[in-house]
Structures are given as structure tokens and as C-alpha cells.
Amino acid sequence: MKKQNDVPACGCNVIHEDTVARVRAGLTQDETLSATAELFKALADPTRLKIVNVLLLAEVCVCDIAATVDMSQPAVSHHLKALRAARLVKYRREGKTIYYSLDDEHVSNVFYQGLLHTSHE
């Protein structure tokens, strides 16, 4: 049985120039990859994923998020700040209450794709 970190090595020392050129032409720009890495960093915390999960189900205020995930309001606010900075959540004010929701459908797509990937064998 192979260990998970065993990576098969290529026994070939020939550079396939046509493949390298084709792949280089299609590579995503470094700035875009950096921004995408920041997105994944924001989602790399289980608590933030739990908050995203809550927001998939409803638009809610910080008090309701805190009650749902059994955390203090300041802790939830801290996580929401990081999610807002990554443009994953947005808010709207209604009187004194601020309601949070997912920024757009891409956030739910990323969340669900992550769930699908981790649950498939």
C-alpha cells in the first residue's frame, strides 16, 4: 500500500518542449493566483466554513450566527471581517441591525465543490 505522500517519480529526463510551451501559454497570471490563494486562506478555517454554511441557509445578523455556531459575537465578527475582506460575504443594514449574506453564488459553488471533493473516494 502506498503512503499518501509517496509521489511517483518520472524516469524520463526529456523535456517535451511542445507540451511545456502549450501549458505556459495557458497558465493563469500570478496576480490572479495570489488572489485565489487569499480566497482559499479565508476559507481554510473550519469556523469560517461553518459561518459560510449558515449564510448558505439564510441571511442573518451576527447575534443569530453566534447563537447558531455557539460562539461569542466578537469572535463571529472577527471571522466575518476576514470573510468580507476576501469578498465572500456582504452585509446590509436595516435600522440598527446588520444582516450578512454570501457575496454571490460563486461562494456557494466553492463551498459545495469542496464538500463534494472531500466526500468522494
Residue 113 belongs to what H/E stretch? helix 105-119
Q: Please give the chain's pLDDT, 121 residues, in tens.
A: 445 567 888 888 889 999 999 999 999 999 999 999 999 999 999 999 999 999 999 999 999 999 999 999 999 999 999 999 999 999 999 999 999 999 999 999 999 999 999 998 7
Q: Please give the residue range of the domain that contains residue 26.
A: 17-119
Residue whose C-alpha cell is 466526500: 119
Does residue 2 lie within any of the structural domains? Answer: no
Query: In CATH, what number is assigned to the domain containing residue 106?
Result: 1.10.10.10
The sheet with strand 60-61 has its strands ordered as: 60-61, 97-102, 89-94
Does this model's pTM top 0.85? My answer is: no
Number of domains making up the chain: 1
Does residue 63 lie within any of the structural domains? Answer: yes
Does residue 108 lie within any of the structural domains? Answer: yes
